[in-house]
Every structure is written in C-alpha cells, then in structure tokens.
Amino acid sequence: IICICETWLDQHITNSELFIKGYKIVRLDRETRGGGLIFFINSNITYIVENHLMLPNLELLYVSFERKMSKPLQIISLYRPPNSTFKLFLDAFDNFLCNIDFISNPVLILGDFNINVNNAESNQMKQFLKVINSFGLKIHNTNDTRIAKNSSSRIDLLISNEKAEKFINKPE
C-alpha cells in the first residue's frame, strides 16, 4: 500500500497515466491547483473506500483493508492546506475521528497536517495534541519532515492507535 499526499492531480490526468503494474488506484483530486490524495493498492489486497472528504480546510481519504481472521486495517490519508483555517480544520478532523472505531480496529492516519508538532509552545500544536490524545492516538515519527535552508519542521505525520503499532516499522 502506497499513500501519497499533495498529488496536484486533477481530472485531466487519467489513472492509466499513473499505472503501476499490479496495483489499483484510489484517488481524491482537487478541482483547483494543489492538494489531492492517492492510494496505490496491491491488486491482491481487498479494500473498501469508507469515506472521503474534500473541504476547504481538510482533504481526507479513508480506506479499510481486509485481513484474514482479523479486524480490518483502517488507513486514513490526510492533507491540510497550509492556508486553511486551523479551527475549522480541527473541528472537521475531530468530528471525523468521532466516527472511527479505535477500540476494535487498527487505525493509521498519515499525511501532511501542516502543523509543526516540534513547536511545543504553539497553541495550535497543543490543541491538535489534545484532540489526538483524546482518541488514544500517538504520533510515531520523530524526525523533521520539511527541511529548508534556514528552518525545519515536522508537519508530515504518522499517527496510530495502539492496535496499529505493529504495522509501523521503526528505524533502529
């Protein structure tokens, strides 16, 4: 399973142009410049597209993957545009999370949140952590994901509940 955020794809780019042998494509394109999400899913994996949202403050693609004799693995790919209103994003994200079964199912949430979680004093970061902590979620990546000449930040995140931690390879 490959997830890509901020694809910048639109209806003019067909799935055949993105084809990877042995993979199916699930995508959510924006009608304007930027954003967009895509999953490349191995053809042998059974999946269901559970939900998708395309809001001004949140783009989200939620796919459930069947596993033999186990609860399905839920993967949510997310993009928050950098110029979006934080409060509207957080409200939409919180409302979305209220509909996920974190008790029974392993859940991975990954994407470009455009919230620098390295900035411990940031009010936005504190509010964001309050929401994810309220659902028993944990941020796994610890290294910066956006590195510029004079700054760096951790805005691309891998988040999960405890049941999904076994699906995360941690570097040693």
Label residue 36 left, alpha or beta by phi (over 0 means left) and psi (-120 to 50 means alpha).
Answer: left
Question: Whole-angstrom Cα distance, residue 155 to residue 82?
Answer: 10
Buried (b) or exposed (e) across 96-124, using 16+ Cβ within 10 A?
Answer: bbeebebeebbbbbbbbbbbbbeeeeeeb
Question: Whole-angstrom Cα distance, residue 137 to residue 78?
Answer: 15
pLDDT computed for residue 31 by the predictor: 80
Which segments in the chain show pLDDT lower than 50? Answer: none
Which residue in this structure is represented by tokens 């610890």? 142
Q: Which two tokens stand for residue 138?
A: 């944990």
* Phi and psi torsions of 107, nearest 5°: -130, 125
pLDDT computed for residue 7 by the predictor: 93
pTM of the model: 0.90
pLDDT computed for residue 55 by the predictor: 85
pLDDT computed for residue 142 by the predictor: 87
Question: Whole-angstrom Cα distance, residue 54 to residue 3?
Answer: 17
Strands 37-42 and 2-5: antiparallel
Strands lying side by side in the sheet with 23-28: 2-5, 37-42, 23-28
Please say whether the beta carbons of 3 and 41 come within 8 A. Answer: no
pLDDT computed for residue 125 by the predictor: 92
pLDDT computed for residue 172 by the predictor: 54
Question: Whole-angstrom Cα distance, residue 33 to residue 17?
Answer: 19
Q: Which two tokens stand for residue 10?
A: 């639109």
